[in-house]
Amino acid sequence: MLIGRDGRPTPQTGPTAVVAALVASGRAALGAAGVTTADIAAAGLSAPGPLDHRKGIILTTQNIAGFVDANFPIAERLAADLGGPRVFVDRDTAMAAIGEGTTGAARGARDFVYLTVSTGVGGAIVSGGRMLRGATNTAGELGHFPVGMDEDVRCRCGSFGCVEAYAAGRNLAEAYGAAEASVVYAKAASGDARAVALIARAEAALANLAVGIVNALNPERIVVGGSVAEHEPSHVLEPMRRAIAERAFKVPAAAVKVVPSALGADVSIIGAALAARDRASGGGEWFL
């Protein structure tokens, strides 16, 4: 149960400003809940990666100014400035998977994939009841799975043909020349040919990704969250379901369900709280 919240824009002027905003936001949320930092044993921080979730260090990220090759000890800095709880950090998609796997749409599943289709596209993989991390804790970057050969469809990661380059809300909006992806979907619904083509391309990218996930990972569930997926399920979940039924290997296709997030926009918040609780108590080995 969420008992207090605060939201504010992420500063784009460097790590010091980000920490200050996080501290201010945390204290505001505590104030709304009627508690202080002295009442809190642990705090969870959901952050973009790559990062070291055990040491609490953001290694680098393209999404926040000042964090490129930063190796910034954000957990230590945040704990010091908050003056109370231990702080535990993980990737935003990993936190979302923890939330969905513990209390959400993947509860009880030992093999599942969490996929977010929002401003960007990302994911996390749980296999055999454990979070799949990889050698550098970047396993699950499903938004950068290559699904196309169009070299002119460039991704912010520096490559081309990534799922994110086609299907992320930010990229859809930029490709059309709109401020938001919702405009593109509305234009497509009214019959605008260019919007229809862009959304068809995004659907094809997500469909290809879904087939790859099923054939390569054999999950029991694919939980799909994010603002685009939430508002446009017929353009996100349905193309994935159709592609799996039509093109994936029959045995794993029969075992998987593509389902919406049960936790909605709060998924990473809930996951971060659960991760902090379990790590502070010495638990949470399944996702470490």
**At a CB cut-off of 8 Å and minimum separation 6, what does 147 contact?**
161, 162, 163, 166, 204, 205, 208, 209, 212
The pLDDT of residue 1 is above 80: no
Task: Dump the DSSP string for 76-118.
Answer: HHHHHHHTSSEEEEEEHHHHHHHHHHHHSTTTT-SSEEEEEES
pLDDT score for 257: 98
Q: Give the integer Cα–Cα distance in Å for 209 and 226.
A: 16
**How many other β-carbons are positioned within 10 Å of the β-carbon of residue 285?**
10
Which residues face 225 on adjacent strands?
116
- In 3D, which of 33, 142, 2, 89 has the Cα closest to residue 279? 89
Worst-scoring range by mean pLDDT, 53-67, 173-187, 189-203? 53-67
- The fraction of the chain above a pLDDT of 70, given in percent, is 100
The pLDDT of residue 191 is above 90: yes
Worst-scoring range by mean pLDDT, 148-157, 201-210, 263-272? 148-157
Please give the average per-residue pLDDT across 98-113, as a whole number.
98
| Contact (Cβ atoms closer than 8 angstroms) between residue 122 and residue 141 | yes
The pLDDT confidence band at residue 2, using thresholds 50, 70 and 90, is confident
**How many other β-carbons are positioned within 10 Å of the β-carbon of residue 177?**
9
Quote the distance between the C-alpha of residue 48 and its chain's center: 8
Please give the average per-residue pLDDT across 258-286, as a whole number.
95
The pLDDT of residue 63 is above 90: no
pTM: 0.95
**How many other β-carbons are positioned within 10 Å of the β-carbon of residue 283?**
12
Please give the average per-residue pLDDT across 214-239, as a whole number.
98
The pLDDT confidence band at residue 62, using thresholds 50, 70 and 90, is confident
Worst-scoring range by mean pLDDT, 3-7, 60-64, 230-234? 60-64
Give the strands of the sheet with 130-131, arranged side by side: 130-131, 121-127, 112-117, 221-225, 257-260
The pLDDT confidence band at residue 84, using thresholds 50, 70 and 90, is confident
Q: Give the integer Cα–Cα distance in Å for 247 and 109.
A: 24
Domains and CATH numbers, the chain: 15-92+266-287 (3.30.420), 105-261 (3.30.420.40)
